[in-house]
Structure 1
Amino acid sequence: MVNQANGALPGTAHGSAPAALSVLDLVAVGEGRTTREALRTSARLARLAESRGFHRYWVAEHHSMPGIASSSPAVILAYLAAQTTRIRLGSGGVMLPNHAPLVIAEQFNTLEAMAPGRVDLGLGRATGTDQLTARALRRTSGPATGDAFPAEVAELIGFLTDGFPDGHPYRRVHAVPGPVQGPSGGQPAVWLLGSSGFSAQLAGRLGLPFAFAHHFAAHNTIPALELYRGSFRPSPLLPEPYAVVGVFTFAAETEEKAREQALTGALTTARFRSGRPALVPTPEEARSHVFSAFEHEILGGWLDHAVYGTPDAVRDQLDALQKRTAADELMLATNAHGLEERLTSLSLIADSYGLPSAGTAPA
């Protein structure tokens, strides 16, 4: 498939991979580490992903979470654009209820001008935080419900394309910069993200690509993808459905080492859902932690749907997930403590799929 939403999929660059492989980065900040170290690690991960033939590299918007430093996707993506030359970069996603659509259009049109032809704008209808923080972000007193999301998406696309029809209230308002002009230019590719059927159905109706958060809503993956494909209407940018499945993935030389790092991400999630967000714990802290009944329930569900282990085991699990979901692309999330371990994990996965070595990646 070749279209503006996805670019030219690398094909042979993925060797025997069953689908395109990409990376979702939460810019994890581990206990004993700094935000500066986390951002530098993200730059190294993006360069590694590009050199090994991964298709795209996304960062996700979160707020009031000490262990996740990706509160400003557009800023981080500008940083990563300066560090890379080919890989697609995007938000996975921008939480649209937190922002005025015009601001997001200006930010991502600016990114498109910096890195023409390789910017994705993934949009979510959640807030990526708790209700109190959402209120501080939005400067309103009411709860963030996401009910206005379809209208906000339509407004954002209007600003991105400078395409409001005559008579529209914003017809004379223009995002600056506007769509990039020239043979390599255009506009950011708009995606919808979700963990339920709402965004899946909306993405289908609008003819947009869809990314599903299997890593925290695995029970709903198949129903949401079926709803997306069943409701899909071809659009000028996307003639047929295109679905990405995000999954926590960690590879190490031994099962034990992989589980250690997976457990740090699981405990981070359990603490957040318990209302106690914190830095990503060390493996030692995660091993010794006494889980409450509520945390233990979260832990079990999280680990049951994560993919971790030796490289061969990880590949087998990813292949099975792709076959089960018919995903066009798998997006690998690695919210773990170890910095070097995350780089090693990505390299081991690339090796297991026969992706190009760092010195032979296609130009």
Structure 2
Amino acid sequence: MIETWKRDYTQAVIDLWNKEAVKDGYKELTEESFTSIFQSNPYFDPENTFVLVESGQLQGFACGCTGDDLPLGGVAGYITCIVLAESYQTDDYFTKLLEALENRFRQLSKKQSDVLFFNPMMLPWYIPDTPRHEHNNAPGVPVDSALYDVLLRQGYIERAREYAMYLNLSDFRVPESSRLKEDKAAEDGYHVELFDPTKHHGIEEMLKGFDNPLWQKEIGESTRKGVPVVIAAYQGKVVGFAGPVIRQENGRGYFAGIGVHPDHEGHGLGSILFYKLCEAFKNMGTDYMSLYTGSTNPAIRIYEKAGFQTVKQFSVMRKEL
């Protein structure tokens, strides 16, 4: 029987998650983290959240979210997760929970169902072959998971592959080639340093040059609040960024992204920004960095040259409803 969410299911879902979802690398849940990720999230809706119950026992959990103010929110519903007990991991049971989510999206007049990094319900996962180092968000469905195969069979199209990459910062050194690039950029009038509102201007204009609402929000807020951000400036005008520079409690260097305004490409600023960011993290005692990037993103070469390695792959998927 498929039922919509009730708080009484909380501990049973946590127990299910800690037995099954962890097999796909997701971090264990506590009551506190479950509440933070799901129930207290402003986009959590009990009508978008379902459980599978048989013989009085919870055997499955599915959660999605919607919001007209989200990227694509006017037309898309987001699938956050579908988790089933081992003996229930069949196409039939996966499909029952998947259809519950899709039908709810249709009721809300959504035209598509997405598994996408814009989902505001962020699921942390452990980086393989590390001392429980973790990444703060899964940008899609793990390609080595049962759910990935089910989504393909149910008509979902893989729109992109996201590569999750990792670097132990004790191994990081700024390449000599980057030092030379920085000197050349300086000759051309570009300087890469931490943002200083008394010296630099044009953050909002620079961010509008990217089709990324998350960058506009996060980098804009960071610079307004005094959170360090590495920037590239031309005659005091900000033309690129990397950051923000935040060491999380778990020792990870938080990374929102890197970008250079199209009008100022061709000066090697992207790689300079990124290596300066890694250096800033290492200098403040950060243990490691992790990030994800599209498999076709040219920036992947910058990350690899810094020593990053791909540790997991996620799929961005969509189905028209």
So what's the TM-score if we normalise by structure 1? 0.27
- Which structure: greater helix fraction? 1
So what's the TM-score if we normalise by structure 2? 0.30
- Which structure: greater strand fraction? 2
